[in-house]
Amino acid sequence: MKIAEVKKIIAADMTGLSMLNDHLDAIADQTRDALDCIAAMHGRLILTGLGKSGHIGSKLAATFASTGTPAFFLHPAEASHGDLGMVQPEDVILALSWSGETRELADVVGYAKRRSVKLISITSVAESTLAKASDISIILPRVREACPHNLAPTTSTLLQLAMGDALAIALLQEKGLSEEGFHGFHPGGSLGAALKRLDEVMIQGDELPLVEENMSVVGALGVLSAKGKGIVGVTRSGALQGVITDGDIRRYLESHAASTMREALHESPCRKLMTEGSVTFSSDIIAGEALSVLQERRISAAFVVEKNQPIGLVTMLRLLNRGVA
């Protein structure tokens, strides 16, 4: 297949999304009502749909759940064979059907009416059975499918997905879900690692490479070598004054080439070669943010401090090994 055909298909999808964006003002009231309804519910958001709409509904249930809105997917066929018992009056049902005439949704719709469960629908036909039966119906613009025969659900499912994602993220913003709260729903994988606080991943305790400012250069070099972190923190009465890196040692030796070994390494205090005003972190920032700072500043490590007392160390290698990337 020529790449031109792929570009044509992507362009068709982009046209559909553009139509949805232009259509938002026309469905602003319904969208606002849907958001208010979901935000006010005391139960769970139940996504349902059949076929490709069902696949979109399943994905959206995961998105809502992971962004702070309790949700799960209910298959219409399973609903008709006992799973409707999972639906409670305090729940809200969000049904997806492009045509609005999916027969398999009839039992779900009927149950919602009998049990006074709020029903929101996303469809493209305002006069459809589903739209008329819903308490709130978000009517998407009728778009041509990217499929050349205008048959396979492609652009239509993309619009359903985009609208559902928009609702989920709007609710996340309304609830003010923090990065830490988001981490609570994503404890695993690289995302979970990136959202961990530094006090969960930092080097600490006896592993910390620290020296007092009056220690000799050779003493600091010994700690630098023994700890193997590529950095040493220089302290005064426990407070961090600066850092010494492998590069600092090299530059110091180059600039003191004319001095004797004793003068350069044994008689000079390490504070003479430390870098002051180095980057530090607080323990409550997330690992992903720390990694970004290290990359932007082109440094490999930084100390974590509390009231200027070094309590930990984060290195690029440590973060990458923990899956933060």
- pTM, entire model: 0.62
Predicted local distance difference test score (pLDDT) of residue 15: 93
Provide the CATH topology of domain 198-321. Answer: CBS-domain (3.10.580)
Please write the tens of the pLDDT for every residue from 305-318: 999 999 999 998 88
pLDDT tens digits, 59-100? 999 888 888 888 989 999 988 888 898 899 999 999 999 999
Q: Give whole-number Cα distances, 167 to 2, 23, 45, 160, in Å.
A: 36, 15, 12, 11
pLDDT, position 192? 59
For residue 175, pLDDT over 90 is answered with no
Mean pLDDT of all residues in the chain?
A: 88
Instruction: Give the separation between CA 90 and CA 118, rounded to whole angstroms.
Output: 8
277-296 pLDDT, tens digit per residue, is 889 999 888 888 888 888 88
pLDDT exceeds 80 at position 165: yes
The pLDDT of 96-120, averaged and rounded, is 95
Q: Is residue 273 scored above 60 in pLDDT?
A: yes
DSSP-derived secondary structure for 174-241: HHT--HHHHHHH--SHHHHHHTSBHHHH-B-GGG--EEETTSBHHHHHHHHHHH-SSEEEEEETTEEE
**Range picked from 176-180, 218-222, 250-254, 294-298 for highest mean pLDDT:** 218-222
Our separate counts of H helices and E strands in the chain read 15, 12
- Is residue 110 over pLDDT 90? yes
- In this model, does residue 156 exceed pLDDT 90? yes
In percent, the amount of the chain with pLDDT more than 90 equals 56
Most confident of 63-72, 189-198, 252-261: 63-72
| Residue 151 or residue 311, greater confidence | 311
Q: Are strands 136-139 and 118-123 parallel, antiparallel or unpaired?
A: parallel
Averaged pLDDT, 21-43: 96
pLDDT at position 177 is 60
User: Distance from CA of residue 58 to its chain's centroid?
Assistant: 19
What average pLDDT does range 242-263 have in this prediction?
81
- Domain residue ranges of the chain, discontinuous segments joined by +: 3-177, 198-321
CA atoms of 319 and 322, how far apart (whole Å)? 5
CB atoms under 10 Å from CB of 3, counted, come to 7
CATH number, span 3-177? 3.40.50.10490
